Amino acid sequence: MPEGILCNKQPIVTDEQLKLTLGDKSGKQYYAEMEQLDVDTDKLWSTIQNTMKSRLKTWLNICAKCGLCAESCFLYQVNDRVPEQVPSYKIHATLGELVKRKGKVDNAFMRKCMDIAWSWCTCCNRCGQFCPHGIDMGVMFSYLRGLLFSQGFVPWELKIGSGMHRVYKAQMDVTTEDWVDTCEWMADENSEEWPGLEIPMDKEDADIMYTINAREAKHYPEDIAEAAILFHVAGENWTMPSEGWEQTSLTLFAGDWEGCKQQVLHVYDAIERLRPKRVVGTECGHAHRATVIEGPYWAGREDGQPPRPYIHYVEWLAEMLRTGRIKIDPTKRIKEPVTLQDSCNYVRNQGLKNITREIMSYIVEPGYFVEMAPNKEYNYCCGGGGGFNGIGKYRPQRNIALLKKREQILATGCKLVVAPCHNCWDAIRDLEEEYPMGLRWSFLKPLVIKMMIVPDHLKPQDEEGEEE
Q: Phi-psi category of 237—alpha, beta or left, where left has phi over 0 and alpha has psi -120 to 50?
A: beta
**Contact predicate 435/398, CB 8 Å:** no
Query: Minimum Å distance from CB 294 to other proteins?
Result: 6
One symbol per residue from 298 to 337: x for binding other proteins (CB under 8 A), - otherwise; what is it? x-xxxxxx--------------------------------
Distances (CA, A) of 339 to 3, 201, 238, 368, 446: 48, 36, 31, 9, 16
Pairing of strands 278-281, 208-211: parallel
> Residue 49 corresponds to which amino acid?
Q
Q: Name the strand (E) or helix (H) holding 209.
A: strand 208-211
The sheet with strand 416-418 has its strands ordered as: 338-340, 416-418, 440-442
Q: Which stretch binds other proteins (CB under 8 A): 125-133, 186-194, 210-218, 333-341?
A: 125-133
Query: Minimum Å distance from CB 155 to other proteins?
Result: 23
Query: Minimum Å distance from CB 73 to other proteins?
Result: 10
How far does Cα 271 stand from its chain's mean position? 21
Is residue 348 within the footprint of other proteins (CB under 8 A)? yes
Q: Which of 131, 212, 284, 428 binds other proteins (CB under 8 A)?
A: 131
Q: Rounded to whole angstroms, how far apart are CA atoms 252 and 282?
A: 17
Closest CA to 215 of 164, 152, 151, 262: 164
Query: Minimum Å distance from CB 86 to other proteins?
Result: 5
Q: Which of 54, 177, 324, 367 binds other proteins (CB under 8 A)?
A: 54
Q: Which of 169, 232, 266, 353 binds other proteins (CB under 8 A)?
A: 353
One symbol per residue from 58 to 87: x for binding other proteins (CB under 8 A), - otherwise; what is it? xx-xx-xxxxx-xxx---x----x-xx-x-
Query: Minimum Å distance from CB 89 to other proteins?
Result: 5
Query: Minimum Å distance from CB 52 to other proteins?
Result: 8
Of 254-293, which residues contact other proteins (CB under 8 A)?
A: 293
Q: Which of 17, 88, 119, 150 binds other proteins (CB under 8 A)?
A: 88
Is residue 49 within the footprint of other proteins (CB under 8 A)? no
Is residue 132 within the footprint of other proteins (CB under 8 A)? yes
Decide whether 88 or 150 has the Cβ nearer to other proteins. Answer: 88
One symbol per residue from 376 to 415: x for binding other proteins (CB under 8 A), - otherwise; what is it? -xx-------------------------------------
Q: Which stretch binds other proteins (CB under 8 A): 131-139, 396-404, 417-425, 439-447?
A: 131-139
Query: Minimum Å distance from CB 254 to other proteins?
Result: 17
Distances (CA, A) of 302 to 142, 190, 305, 414: 21, 42, 8, 44
| Residue 303: count of CB within 10 angstroms of its CB | 7
Decide whether 157 or 294 has the Cβ nearer to other proteins. Answer: 294
- Calculate the CA dihedral of residues 459, 207, 248, 363 and round it to 10 degrees: -50
Count of residues of this chain found to bind other proteins when the rule CB under 8 A is applied: 54
Closest CA to 420 of 150, 213, 191: 213
Q: Which stretch binds other proteins (CB under 8 A): 47-55, 165-173, 186-194, 409-417?
A: 47-55
Is residue 245 within the footprint of other proteins (CB under 8 A)? no
Closest CA to 391 of 425, 348, 426: 426
Q: Which of 92, 159, 406, 445 binds other proteins (CB under 8 A)?
A: 92
Q: Under DSSP, is residue 75 helix (H, G, I), strand (E, B) or coil?
A: helix
Decide whether 175 or 305 has the Cβ nearer to other proteins. Answer: 305
Query: Minimum Å distance from CB 70 to other proteins?
Result: 4
Q: Which stretch binds other proteins (CB under 8 A): 2-10, 271-279, 344-352, 436-444?
A: 344-352
Is residue 47 within the footprint of other proteins (CB under 8 A)? no
Q: Rounded to whole angstroms, how far apart are CA atoms 355 and 346?
A: 11
Work out the end-to-end distance of the chain between its first and last CA atoms, rounded to an integer number of angstroms.
Answer: 70
Q: Rounded to whole angstroms, how far apart are CA atoms 403 and 437?
A: 12
310 - beta bridge partners? Answer: 279
Greatest distance between any 2 Cα atoms in the chain:
81
Query: Minimum Å distance from CB 26 to other proteins?
Result: 33
What residues contact 101, with CB distance under 8 A and at least 6 apart? none
Pairing of strands 310-312, 338-340: unpaired
Residues in the chain: 468
Residues that bind other proteins (CB under 8 A): 51, 53-55, 57-59, 61-62, 64-68, 70-72, 76, 81, 83-84, 86, 88-89, 92, 128-136, 293-294, 296-298, 300-305, 348-354, 377-378
